[in-house]
């Protein structure tokens, strides 16, 4: 079952495929011959990626139409500003519940269960989902069913009828997630290290609790819906359609809406994590999950192309310093890597992770820290720079090799207000990164003394102990799950 | 862990994008694919399947080796996977500064390992002092060999040339290698891929073995689901290797040596046991001669003998109970035949009707109506498909509900399948959705390459990918009832569950463990 079988989708059992990935800066060892360099690399076949047609409605709604006639199939989506970072902290989890209950509730004309029956009989889909900065409604169907599915989707977009039973169902699902969130070591490490970076009560890390999901009402869902639907919607249609007819159809659905009001700008404060080593004891593991984190940068930052190249050198896969050292040379980890992330409208994180057996926790952590510090002390080589650029530049093609990926990118840039030629500009900037740029960026962004280290692992097995990291006494992190007060908010308990 | 340009976008907007594609099914599609697909069996027995798709200047490939961890010899569980890791270490021509000298050094590593192991494994009278000396000699021999290594050069060259999604997977049934690349790197790819199939060197083997042990700790030892699964399959099977840990039992995978890995390679990595599918901007007329030149390097050989162990008929119900602090889960499995059984599609129909989406019986019953589970499914075949495997049910209880409730509710649904026909609508939905899911999957170059290689291996003809729909269409309500009555019986059942135990003793720190 490690094979990805077409027919197997037992979600919680997918331990994942056995992956093999690896790499290191080829030192300047002389190699007698490099036969692969004798293999000709002809010019790439000409390629003219097809951009979607962009239409601006008079109310500000943006529509993208991307034709693809290879298969008789049409899909669409509406992207809506506003997500979990914008929800009331006392109702954390609201957007997640909304994303489920919107679709499962259905409309006045057709409830969610009836919609399931109809759509599944046609192998079609309409789905809704919530994310940290957006919510979304999407649909897909055979061309022949697309008029009906489009109408249903639009009805769900504008006239949902939120249903108490479906909200309760969503609350039960969320309660299950809460009660299980400390079972999985990897989940704990990801969640708690993000809290170190952004803060416990940050809009980007606060987590749903029994009390906050229990506080969400049907009226909250309706209010959220009414408010966000007034925003600047982005509509994308992809597939086998006639563009004139499709434009008319989309206009008929969206043209008469009042002008969209932009989602209010956020004014979040971001501060560096408090340096030190943090520890979460988990008795049923024999491997430590180590996260080394700091606050990172926003994608608007002009240093992002340089940092992207630095990511590739530090922890971006087979050729990276971390992979070469910690995995290949030391054999201390299967999973090791990391770097900066570049969110489109807020600072990301710097994160390096290494998973290693309990007894080598300190050794592996020190080895990873040494590679991070080495960005400032171990000069970048021309060879490393070239390889990192080749890695990135030669696989650019896979950012836009299908028409749906191009549509995806167009919508993303529209959503975050980036120029339409951002990708080209970015690609060009990457190509110009120099060794001096890397050295300057490392100096500016890599501060080993500011790092926070989180270890999730089996305390008694970790020898030497985390004191040996010389980062002060390990600070325990309490991950106790607050229990619901009084009767369960979900009604799930007997 | 790779931080790339597209990783920043947080939304699931395009979750469905990958799945998007559709054709009106059947003959017409088969015909259109027949025009675009070329199959060539090389003199060494290796099969190339090439599917042209010229939309963009890229190609994807999948190398499918018909050997997996089910083929690991007794006492060497995890060997196929260990070899897969070796296949990233380079060849006599890449990854080394001086292969002739490295070869001598690698032999010394093997000799040193043999000497160390002989002492280490002595049942009585092990000399710890001698052991320490032998271990140091083993470590020194590895260091001596590493002097000739250009670490990870094979993967670096691939990535620097635009390899995208580079990876490999070892399953019980087979081993797959895959990536995508710009179209103008086809010859470079052929050099790399044929090299590692034909000419692999057991470089840095013992470090990599440590890496695989870490992989085991991550996937199995430190993961509640991993632990449950391993015990579940080990209990369900008494004879067949499907019951054996696929990543390997710790005492076995930690003792595998390079000589054993190379013996596995010699036996199973022969032309007749390998299918390679390429999908994308490739022109068979001009590219095939080049591909043939490179892949002819793979040693000739017929398919190795299949394993002959047959799992005996189960006659006693079995169960596994893990009591620990993690939250409860319930699984149960019933033995079923392999993918070649005429009822293969019937099992798929049962799985679809029970667990595909919000209309499925298990979802509507356990999740929506009874409100006792967060998720409930029935899936097959698992853990493999090449040999008789299992039909597995599983459910995740909502807070406050127990594995026993899951079991009882699942049994009620099974009873319904046995005693009443499914509805016309359910059966038709299965057929419609199967057709749709198949056709959707064809849109993606990498997915299609994997499917073509798999069907060419399993059925000897990629066309079965389409023709299987004939079997789907033939499934009847009576078939479903017959198979349910045949297979879902108590004596054929193995169950496994996690029962949650409160933490033992007083809390260790502030707030205590949860």
For residues A18 and A2, give the distance between their C-alpha atoms in angstroms, rounded to a whole number. 7
Cα B446 off chain centre by: 16
Residue A389: closest CA among chain B residues belongs to which residue? B160
Kindly list the structural domains of chain A, giving each domain's residue range(s) and its CATH number in brackets, ordered by start: 53-254 (3.30.830.10), 276-476 (3.30.830.10)
ipTM over 0.85? The verdict is yes
Tokens of B178: 């895959």
B357 touches chain A (CB under 8 A): yes
Q: How many residues does chain A have?
A: 494
CB contact under 8 A, B394 and A12: yes
List chain A residues with pLDDT less than 50: 1-29, 487-494
pLDDT at B108 over 50: yes
**Residue A30: predicted pLDDT:** 54
Identify which of B143, B3, B390, B156 has the alpha carbon closest to the alpha carbon of residue A36. Answer: B156
CB contact under 8 A, B510 and A478: yes
pLDDT in tens, B424-453: 999 999 999 999 888 888 889 999 999 999
Angle, in degrees to the nearest 10, between helices A304-315 and A435-445: 90
For residues B111 and B142, give the distance between their C-alpha atoms in angstroms, rounded to a whole number. 11
Q: Which residues of B touch A4 (CB under 8 A)?
A: 169, 450
pLDDT in tens, B178-197: 999 999 999 999 999 999 99
Residue B6: closest CA among chain A residues belongs to which residue? A399
- Does residue B279 sit in the same domain as residue B359? no
- Does residue B354 sit in the same domain as residue B401? yes
Q: Which of residues 408-437 of B touch A (CB under 8 A)?
A: 425, 428-429, 432-433, 435-437
**Residue A32: predicted pLDDT:** 61
Tokens of A84: 């979990």
For residues A397 and A49, give the distance between their C-alpha atoms in angstroms, rounded to a whole number. 10
Last residue of a domain, one of B295, B327, B344: B295
- Cα-based torsion angle of the residue sequence A303, A305, A310, A313 in order, rounded to the nearest 10 degrees: 180
Last residue of a domain, one of B295, B310, B336: B295
Please enumerate in sequence order all residues whose Cβ is within 8 A of that of B417, keeping only pairs 6 or more positions apart, or say none: B350, B354, B480, B481, B484, B488
Residue A324 is given by DSSP the state I
What is B174-236 written as a DSSP string? -EEEEEEEEGGGHHHHHHHHHHHHHSB--TTHHHHHHHHHHHHIIIIIT-HHHHHHHHHHHHH
Tokens of A25: 């800066």
Mean pLDDT of chain B: 91
Give CA separation, B55 vs A396, B164, B230, in Å.
16, 17, 43
CB contact under 8 A, A331 and B384: no
- Does residue B457 sit in the same domain as residue B329? yes
Half-sphere exposure of A266 (CA within 13 A, CB side): 19
For residues B417 and B108, give the distance between their C-alpha atoms in angstroms, rounded to a whole number. 62
CB contact under 8 A, A24 and B217: no
Shortest distance, CA A107 to any CA of chain B (angstroms): 17
B448 touches chain A (CB under 8 A): no
B279: phi then psi, degrees, rounded to nearest 5? -125, 130
Residue B8 included in any domain: no
For residues B272 and B235, give the distance between their C-alpha atoms in angstroms, rounded to a whole number. 34
| Bridge partners for A78 per DSSP | A137, A235
For residues B356 and B348, give the distance between their C-alpha atoms in angstroms, rounded to a whole number. 10
**Residue B307: predicted pLDDT:** 87
- Does residue B323 sit in the same domain as residue B290? no
Residue B202 included in any domain: yes
**Residue B216: predicted pLDDT:** 96
How many distinct structural domains can be found in chain B?
2
Residue A33 is given by DSSP the state -
Strand, coil or helix: A277? strand
pLDDT at B513 over 80: no
**Residue A13: predicted pLDDT:** 26
Tokens of B326: 């993690």
Q: What is the 3-state secondary structure (H, E, C) of B76-108?
A: CCCHHHHHHHHCCCCECCCCECCHHHHHHHHHH
- Does residue B333 sit in the same domain as residue B477? yes
**Residue A316: predicted pLDDT:** 84
For residues B286 and B277, give the distance between their C-alpha atoms in angstroms, rounded to a whole number. 17
For residues A183 and B375, give the distance between their C-alpha atoms in angstroms, rounded to a whole number. 17
Tokens of A392: 């990135």
* Dihedral sign (CA A78, A83, A87, A92): positive
Residue B26 included in any domain: no
> What is the rounded average pLDDT of the residues B246-259?
96
Q: Which residues of A touch B438 (CB under 8 A)?
A: 6
Residue B25 included in any domain: no
Q: Which residues of A touch B96 (CB under 8 A)?
A: 31
- Does residue B280 sit in the same domain as residue B339? no
Cα B192 off chain centre by: 23
- Does residue B271 sit in the same domain as residue B322? no
Identify which of B128, B145, B96, B135 has the alpha carbon closest to the alpha carbon of residue B113. Answer: B135
Identify which of B492, B170, B470 has the alpha carbon closest to the alpha carbon of residue B344. Answer: B470
A350: phi then psi, degrees, rounded to nearest 5? -105, 130
- Does residue B339 sit in the same domain as residue B265? no
User: Best interface-test mutation with A: which of B5, B224, B433 has the largest number of A CBs within 10 A?
Assistant: B5
Residue B73 is part of which domain span? 39-96+149-295
Please enumerate in sequence order all residues whose Cβ is within 8 A of that of B217, keeping only pairs 6 or more positions apart, or say none: A285, A286, A287, A355, A357
With contact defined as beta carbons under 8 Å apart, do A85 and A132 qualify? yes
Residue B195: closest CA among chain A residues belongs to which residue? A36
- For A70-82, b/e burial (b = at least 16 CB within 10 A) is ebbbbbbbbbbbb
For residues B59 and B51, give the distance between their C-alpha atoms in angstroms, rounded to a whole number. 10
Shortest distance, CA B51 to any CA of chain A (angstroms): 15
Burial label, B454 (beta-carbon count in 10 A; 0-12, 13-18, 19+): buried
For residues A441 and A433, give the distance between their C-alpha atoms in angstroms, rounded to a whole number. 11
- Does residue B54 sit in the same domain as residue B171? yes
* Dihedral sign (CA B54, B56, B57, B63): negative
For residues A166 and A106, give the distance between their C-alpha atoms in angstroms, rounded to a whole number. 10
**Residue A488: predicted pLDDT:** 46
pLDDT at B50 over 90: yes
- Does residue B331 sit in the same domain as residue B285? no
pTM for this entry:
0.92
Shortest distance, CA A85 to any CA of chain B (angstroms): 12
Q: Which of residues 66-95 of B touch A (CB under 8 A)?
A: 81, 84-85, 87-88, 93-94
Pairing between β-strand A452-457 and β-strand A276-281 as defined by DSSP bridges: parallel
Identify which of B243, B200, B238, B212 has the alpha carbon closest to the alpha carbon of residue B69. Answer: B243
CB atoms within 10 A of CB B6: 12
Residue B480 included in any domain: yes
Residue A327: closest CA among chain B residues belongs to which residue? B211
Residue B305 included in any domain: no
Q: Which residues of A touch B439 (CB under 8 A)?
A: 71
Write the CATH number for B216.
3.30.830.10
CB contact under 8 A, B182 and A133: no
Q: Which residues of A touch B173 (CB under 8 A)?
A: 3
With contact defined as beta carbons under 8 Å apart, do B195 and B94 qualify? yes
For residues A359 and A461, give the distance between their C-alpha atoms in angstroms, rounded to a whole number. 6
With contact defined as beta carbons under 8 Å apart, do A476 and A158 qualify? no
Residue B358: closest CA among chain A residues belongs to which residue? A116
CB atoms within 10 A of CB B291: 24
CB contact under 8 A, A339 and B375: no
| Bridge partners for A65 per DSSP | A53, A237
Last residue of a domain, one of B242, B263, B295: B295
Q: Which residues of B touch A185 (CB under 8 A)?
A: 222-223
Residue B18 included in any domain: no
With contact defined as beta carbons under 8 Å apart, do B80 and B169 qualify? no
Question: In sequence order, which ranges of B341-420 are alpha helices (DSSP H)?
Answer: 344-355, 361-362, 403-419
pLDDT at B210 over 90: yes
Tokens of A61: 């709604």
pLDDT at B28 over 60: no
pLDDT in tens, A237-271: 999 999 999 999 999 999 999 998 888 889 999 99
For residues B44 and B35, give the distance between their C-alpha atoms in angstroms, rounded to a whole number. 26
Shortest distance, CA A345 to any CA of chain B (angstroms): 10
Please enumerate in sequence order all residues whose Cβ is within 8 A of that of B104, keeping only pairs 6 or more positions apart, or say none: none
Residue A184: closest CA among chain B residues belongs to which residue? B223
CB contact under 8 A, A23 and B152: yes
User: Given pLDDT bands bounded at 50, 70 and 90, which one contains residue B505?
Assistant: low
pLDDT at B333 over 50: yes
- Does residue B193 sit in the same domain as residue B88? yes
The helix (H) or strand (E) run that includes residue B396 is strand B389-397
- Does residue B335 sit in the same domain as residue B449? yes
Of B8, B184, B229, the CB nearest to A344: B8
CB atoms within 10 A of CB B503: 13
Shortest distance, CA A449 to any CA of chain B (angstroms): 23
CB atoms within 10 A of CB B121: 9
Residue B401 included in any domain: yes
For residues A38 and B440, give the distance between their C-alpha atoms in angstroms, rounded to a whole number. 40
Question: In sequence order, which ranges of A123-229 are alpha helices (DSSP H)?
Answer: 146-158, 164-180, 185-198, 210-214, 218-228
Percentage of chain B modeled with pLDDT above 70: 92
For residues B208 and B215, give the distance between their C-alpha atoms in angstroms, rounded to a whole number. 10
């Amino acid at each position: 079952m490690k094979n990805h079988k077409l027919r197997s989708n037992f979600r919680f059992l997918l331990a994942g495929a056995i992956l093999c990935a690896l790499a290191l800066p080829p030192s300047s060892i002389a190699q007698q011959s490099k036969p692969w360099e004798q293999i000709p690399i002809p010019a790439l076949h000409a390629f003219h990626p097809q951009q979607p047609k962009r239409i601006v409605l008079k109310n500000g709604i943006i529509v993208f139409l991307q034709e693809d006639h290879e298969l008789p199939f049409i899909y669409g989506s509406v992207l809506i500003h506003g997500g979990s970072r914008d929800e009331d902290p006392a109702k954390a989890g609201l957007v997640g519940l909304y994303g489920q209950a919107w679709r499962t509730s259905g409309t006045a004309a057709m409830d969610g269960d009836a919609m399931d029956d109809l759509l599944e009989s046609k192998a079609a889909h309409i789905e809704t989902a919530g994310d940290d900065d957006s919510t979304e409604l999407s649909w897909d169907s055979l061309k022949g069913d697309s008029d009906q599915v489009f109408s249903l989707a639009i009805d769900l977009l504008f006239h949902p009828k939120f249903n108490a039973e479906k909200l309760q169902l969503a609350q039960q699902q969320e309660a299950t997630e809460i009660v299980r969130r400390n079972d999985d070591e990897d989940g704990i490490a990801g969640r708690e290290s993000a809290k170190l970076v952004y803060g416990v009560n940050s809009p980007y890390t606060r987590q749903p609790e029994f009390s906050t999901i229990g506080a969400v009402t049907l009226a909250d869902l309706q209010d959220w819906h009414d408010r966000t639907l007034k925003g600047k919607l982005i509509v994308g249609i992809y597939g086998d359609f006639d563009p004139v007819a499709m434009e008319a159809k989309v206009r008929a659905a969206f043209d008469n809406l009042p002008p969209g009001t932009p989602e209010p700008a956020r004014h979040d404060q971001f501060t560096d994590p408090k340096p030190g080593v943090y520890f979460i004891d988990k008795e049923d593991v024999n491997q430590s999950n180590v996260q080394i984190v700091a606050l990172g940068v926003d994608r608007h930052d002009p240093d992002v192309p340089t940092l992207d190249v630095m990511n590739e050198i530090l922890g971006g896969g087979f050729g990276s310093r971390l992979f070469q050292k910690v995995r290949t040379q030391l054999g201390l980890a299967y999973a090791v890597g990391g770097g900066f992330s570049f969110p489109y409208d807020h600072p990301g994180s710097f994160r390096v992770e290494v998973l290693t057996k309990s007894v080598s926790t300190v050794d592996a952590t020190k080895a990873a820290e040494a590679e991070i510090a080495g960005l400032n002390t171990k000069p970048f080589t021309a060879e490393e720079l070239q390889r990192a650029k080749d890695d990135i530049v030669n696989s650019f093609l896979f950012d836009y090799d299908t028409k749906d990926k191009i549509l995806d990118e167009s919508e993303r840039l529209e959503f975050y207000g980036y120029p339409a030629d951002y990708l080209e500009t970015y690609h060009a900037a990457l190509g110009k990164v120099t060794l001096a740029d890397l050295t300057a960026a490392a100096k500016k962004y890599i501060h080993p003394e500011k790092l926070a280290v989180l270890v999730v692992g089996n305390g008694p097995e970790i020898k030497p102990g985390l004191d040996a990291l010389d980062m002060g006494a390990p600070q325990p992190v309490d991950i106790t799950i607050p229990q619901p007060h009084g009767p369960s908010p979900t009604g799930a308990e007997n | 862990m790779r931080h790339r340009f597209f990783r920043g976008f947080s939304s699931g907007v395009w979750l469905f994008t990958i799945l998007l594609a559709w054709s009106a099914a059947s003959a017409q599609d088969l015909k259109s694919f027949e025009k675009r697909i070329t199959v060539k069996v090389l003199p060494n027995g290796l099969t190339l399947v090439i599917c042209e798709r010229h939309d963009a200047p890229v190609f994807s490939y999948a190398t499918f080796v018909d050997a997996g961890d089910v083929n690991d010899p007794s006492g060497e569980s995890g060997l196929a996977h260990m070899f897969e890791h070796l296949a990233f270490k380079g060849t006599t021509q890449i990854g080394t500064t001086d292969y002739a000298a490295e070869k001598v050094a690698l032999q010394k590593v093997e000799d040193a390992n043999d000497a160390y192991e002989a002492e280490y494994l002595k049942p009585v009278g092990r000399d710890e002092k001698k052991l320490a000396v032998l271990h140091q000699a083993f470590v020194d021999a590895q260091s001596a060999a590493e002097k000739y290594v250009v670490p990870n050069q094979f993967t670096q060259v691939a990535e620097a040339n635009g390899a995208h999604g580079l990876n490999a997977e070892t399953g019980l049934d087979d081993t797959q290698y895959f990536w995508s690349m710009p179209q103008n790197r086809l010859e470079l790819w052929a050099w790399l891929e044929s090299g590692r199939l034909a000419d692999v060197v057991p470089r840095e083997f013992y470090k990599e073995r440590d890496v695989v042990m870490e992989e085991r700790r991550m996937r199995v030892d430190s993961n509640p689901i991993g632990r449950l699964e391993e015990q579940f399959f080990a209990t369900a099977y008494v004879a067949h290797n499907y019951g054996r840990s696929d990543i390997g039992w710790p005492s076995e995978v930690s003792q595998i040596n390079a000589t054993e890995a190379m013996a596995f390679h010699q036996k199973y990595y022969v032309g007749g046991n390998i299918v390679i599918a390429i999908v994308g901007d490739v022109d068979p007329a001009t590219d095939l001669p080049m591909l043939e030149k490179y892949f002819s390097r793979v040693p000739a050989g017929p398919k190795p003998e299949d394993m002959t162990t047959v799992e005996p008929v189960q006659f006693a119900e079995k169960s596994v109970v893990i009591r620990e602090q993690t939250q409860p889960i319930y699984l149960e499995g019933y033995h079923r035949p392999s993918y070649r059984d005429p009822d293969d599609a019937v099992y798929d129909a049962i799985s679809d009707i029970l667990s595909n989406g919000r209309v499925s019986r298990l979802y509507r019953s356990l999740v929506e109506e009874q409100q006792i589970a967060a998720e409930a499914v029935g899936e097959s075949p698992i853990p493999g498909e090449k040999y008789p495997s299992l039909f597995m049910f599983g459910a995740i209880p909502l807070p406050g509900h127990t594995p026993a409730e899951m079991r009882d509710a699942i049994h009620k649904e099974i009873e319904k399948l046995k005693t009443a026909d499914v509805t016309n609508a359910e059966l038709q939905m299965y057929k419609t959705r199967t057709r749709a899911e198949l056709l959707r999957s064809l849109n993606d170059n990498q997915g299609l390459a994997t499917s073509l290689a798999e069907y060419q291996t399993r059925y000897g003809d990629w066309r079965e990918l389409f023709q299987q729909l004939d079997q789907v269409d033939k499934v009847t309500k009576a078939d479903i009832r017959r198979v349910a009555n045949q297979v879902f019986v108590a004596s054929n059942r193995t169950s496994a569950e996690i029962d949650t135990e409160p933490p033992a003793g007083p809390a260790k720190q502030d707030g205590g463990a949860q």
